[in-house]
Amino acid sequence: MNNSSLNELGPLIKIANTLIEKELNNRIARAITDYNLTGPQITMMVYLYEAHGKTITQKELADKFVLSHPTIRSVVRRLEKASLLSAERMPADRRQIKLSLTTAGNSFIATHLAVIYGIMNEVNRQIVQGLSPADLERITKILQQIIKNF
């Protein structure tokens, strides 16, 4: 691979990520108007919803979504302000912050879960549109390797 190709790969991945995130945000905003939530906010809420009964910390959420502490903290604060999420320090380790959906947050996700899954499936179909099964398998392996490299 020549140097020019190496210099283009990172920006191409970033552009694809930005376009996917914008598409997800736009579809979510059009379909769900109860709150002004972004795709990543809703994705995190769905993660917490699906982990119902399991302790999820802010650090675990940051690791899962590969986001910085300040970014996660900002999302948590916005969801707390909307009364959709609660964050409390864990008694055993005051540095750890336990996250959970509030009653309103659980109700919101339960009400919109089918629509959210539908949007996520549509965006995933759009991502792979025009790819053969072999292409899809190849790109999946390549992306897994890129992730593993970091």
**Alpha-carbon distances of 110 from 77, 94, 142, rounded to whole Å:** 21, 31, 35
Question: Domain of 37?
Answer: 9-126
**56 or 52, higher pLDDT:** 56
Say if 103 falls within a structural domain. yes
Kindly report the CATH number assigned to the domain that includes residue 60: 1.10.10.10
Mean pLDDT of 91-111: 93
Which residues, including other chains, have CB under 8 Å from residue 67's CB and lie 6 or more apart? 61, 75
Residues 62, 69 contacting (CB under 8 angstroms): yes
Mean pLDDT of 79-108: 93
Most confident of 7-21, 52-66, 73-87: 73-87
Residues 97, 58 contacting (CB under 8 angstroms): yes
Say if 102 falls within a structural domain. yes
Q: How far, in Å, CA of 150 to CA of 144, rounded?
A: 10
Percent over 70 (pLDDT), the chain: 96
Say if 145 falls within a structural domain. no
Say if 52 falls within a structural domain. yes
Say if 98 falls within a structural domain. yes
Q: Which pLDDT tens digit goes with each residue over 13-40?
A: 999 999 998 998 889 888 988 888 887 8
Say if 136 falls within a structural domain. no
**Domain tally for the chain?**
1
- pTM of the full structure: 0.79
Structure-token pair, residue 70 = 């300040």
Q: How far, in Å, CA of 10 to CA of 40, rounded?
A: 21
